[in-house]
Amino acid sequence: MRWRVAALVSLCVALCIGEVSAQAPPVIKSETKLVVVDVVVTDKKGAYVHDLTAKNFHVLEDNREQAIQSATLESVTQTAAAPRTDYIVLVFDYSSMDSGDQIRARQAAAGFIDANLSPNRRMAVANLDAGLRIAQSFTGNAGRLKEAVGGSKAADISANNALVGTSASADLGTRAKFQALNRLASDLSAVPGRKTVVLLTAGVTVRSDQKGILTEAIEACNRADVAVYPVDVRDASVPSGFSADTPETGRGRGPTAMATPMPRIAGATATPSARPGPSGDTDTETTADPTGVSQQVLFALATGTGGFVIRNATELPSGLQKIGQEQEEYYLLSYSPPNSKEGSCHALKVKVDRSGMTLRARSSYCNGKPEESISGNATQQDLEKRAGAAQAGTVGVSMRLPFFYTGPSQASVHVVLELPPDAIKFEKQKQNLHADVSILGIASTAGGETASRFSDTLTLNFDEADQRWKGKPIHYEQEFKIAPGQYTFTVVFSAGGESFGKLAQPLAVEPYQPGQFTISGIALGKEVRKAAAPSAASLFEDRPSLSIGGAELIPTGLAAFNRSEQAFCYFEVYPPADPSPASTVQLRLLNTKTNDAAWDSGAGKLDIPAGKSLMPVGLNVPIASLTAGSYDLEVTANDGSGHAVRRTASFEIK
């Protein structure tokens, strides 16, 4: 039987898998609260300065100098033993761009991704029109990022132009943009350290009576330690406010400057009369803001949060290169602030006692609640002891561990558990039954070292009068990142009282580099549902979506299928740098005891779309004709030149 695996099969091609970096280090509680300020320092030639110490800096909070406790240069302090993960979000303001602007923005972003992605750097892509839409959540996979950049739909230019002359509509668009920026900053506060937003736009305008929304956005970014780097993608040769397509009529974009000039925002600039550009130079207001009112907003965003402005398309290559370089070229200054009301915000100013230096730092900080320690409660500590002990669990659990590659030498392991509901101790709360199930997962090497881990709490609430939930296992999914290798994965969970579940399985992940032909692990499932629409809040979505063409597989952790049930499989093919038209994939069902083939699909041709970094495949698995027993689903992919990769997934037929 001949068959073809194309971009659309049984269950897509467009696949957005959210990724987060390796688990962040725990936050250690301290009696002394510290404010950490990141500062970029360049000399007269724009070169980064590396030889400053705490004695060279002065930090003023509300114009009162503070005692600096430490000053470290990040490019020096980061080591292999203590790596830092950088987070960068590329935000496309398509509502402000014409077609030429959009092309420039996409090309520039693709080059930035290629030049700056690294094992310790994660990027995401978001589109800004009426609101914020996440096109690709954080990942280290350049192919997925560029697909998100290239696949973004162009804005409706004619509709945007129709709004230019309408004050109410323009107000709504501006307010929505800054609300989206506030939300983005809030989401980014979930991870520690300095975060970067690269805002690609064709200008943002704010009326004088709207300056409060800009100030709020700057404060939101400063609370989350987010530096904004606005990039004006307009062609500098075209007069400000008009499209390159129709400069004489302005129909391409329409005027960008509004009647009322944008006032300077108090506290938004560290040096009111000078604004540093991407090359480190210091320009006067007249030359630094040649496009007028719309760029004043961009400069306020940048100087208020510690970034800089790329002023037009001619600066794109050098400016973006400097943004990437700057992620490892800043000092971290820390000081203990005076007591203040929780939630209050304070102006910051940083100075250096060396002449000829240009400094950039955020303009404020807000006094928020201290982060709680994540060292674990008593239940989690008990689970850690049980994970390392020889004692078996008292409650059964089923588990599967399919894995999917997310970048160079990194995989995302998709943990799928099925917990027995009758073994979990519930408490009665009014008309509901409630339980908090603590779960701990640890991947360890043969030598007993922990390679990756996660801890989580599954909160269960069921209607006491509705007992249908007892008829099927409680489904749980989690994801963790790990480097290729041979491991033992152990999961332990609390069932209430002295009861607990425990299961250990081998986990083998082969090495992988982008452009290398291989396939992922295999996920099995009994149910397919309509895929959920992309969420605007999916920046840190940490569970891969096993989706194809609008359908999503619900993976199962169960080891057994009934012949009357449907069975599906999902896996990903990672094509070589130069895919061969002779690439194939073949599925077989093998009897585990005899190794005889109970079913063979034959070799199906892989129609790999050009430029794709992965190809998701979802298929029905024919189990109705199988007799009871143990089977292996075997998937073999061949790149057309004799190199084959094989994966298996075992299951039982009842």
pLDDT tens track for 172-198: 467 778 888 888 888 888 777 779 999
Within a domain: 36: no
Single out the residue in 327, 357, 391 at which a domain terminates.
Answer: 327
Burial (0-12, 13-18, 19+ Cβ within 10 Å), 363:
buried
In a domain, 580, yes or no: yes
Span 122-131, pLDDT tens digits: 899 998 765 6
- 409 with 282, same domain? no
**94: its two tokens:** 């398509």
- Which residue did the predictor score with more confidence, 167 or 552? 552
68 within some domain: no
Q: Is the pLDDT assigned to residue 609 strictly greater than 80?
A: no
**Can you state the angle between helices 142-151 and 99-116, rounded to 10 degrees?**
180
10 Å CB burial of residue 630 (0-12, 13-18, 19+) is middle
Phi-psi region at 602: left, alpha or beta (left = phi > 0; alpha = psi -120 to 50): left
Cβ proximity of 24 and 341 under 8 Å:
no
- Both 493 and 606 in a single domain? yes
Of the three residues 327, 358, 389, the one that is the final residue of a domain is 327
Q: Pairing mode, if any, of strands 282-283 and 275-276?
A: antiparallel
Cα-only R_g, the chain: 28
Last residue of a domain, one of 327, 357, 387: 327
Residue that is written with structure tokens 């987060």 in the block: 20
- Same domain? 250 vs 176: yes
Evaluate whether residue 542 is within a structural domain.
yes
In a domain, 358, yes or no: no
Q: Are 218 and 300 in contact (CB under 8 A)?
A: yes
CA 288, CA 64: separation in Å to the nearest integer?
30
Cα-Cα-Cα-Cα dihedral sign, residues 56, 60, 64, 67: negative
Helix (H, G, I), strand (E, B) or coil at 79: coil
Distance CA 268, CA 210 (A): 15
Q: Identify the CA nearest to 300 among candidates 383, 424, 384, 211.
A: 211
Residues 144 and 86 both lie in one domain = yes
Contact 364, 348 (CB under 8 A): yes
Tell whether 417 is covered by a domain.
Answer: yes
CA atoms within 13 A on the CB side of 650: 9
**439 and 542, same domain (yes or no):** yes
443, 413 Cβ separation under 8 angstroms: yes
62-71 confidence digits (pLDDT tens): 999 999 988 8
Residue with tokens 């004692």: 391
CA distance 160 to 158: 5
Residues 157 and 243 in one domain: yes
Domain that holds residue 201: 79-327
pLDDT tens per residue across span 544-583? 568 887 788 999 999 999 999 999 999 999 988 788 888 8
Q: What is the CATH number of the domain that holds 274?
A: 3.40.50.410
Q: Is the pLDDT of residue 536 over 60?
A: no
Contact 526, 618 (CB under 8 A): no
Regarding whether 563 and 478 lie in a shared domain, the answer is yes
Q: In the Cβ-directed half-sphere of 279, how many Cα atoms lie within 13 Å?
A: 11
Average pLDDT value over all residues in the chain: 77
Residues 308, 379 within the same domain? no
Q: How many CB atoms lie within 10 A of CB 576?
A: 16
Q: What is the pLDDT of residue 645?
A: 95
Q: CA–CA separation, 383 vs 549, rounded Å?
A: 40
**Looking at the predicted structure, is the pLDDT value of residue 355 above 50?**
yes
Same domain, 151 and 293: yes
**CATH for 427:** 2.60.40.10
Q: 436 and 547 share a domain?
A: yes
What's the pLDDT score for residue 151?
A: 64
* In a domain? residue 44: no
Q: Does 402 share its domain with 307?
A: no
What is the percent of the chain where pLDDT is above 90? 32
Overall domain count for the chain: 2
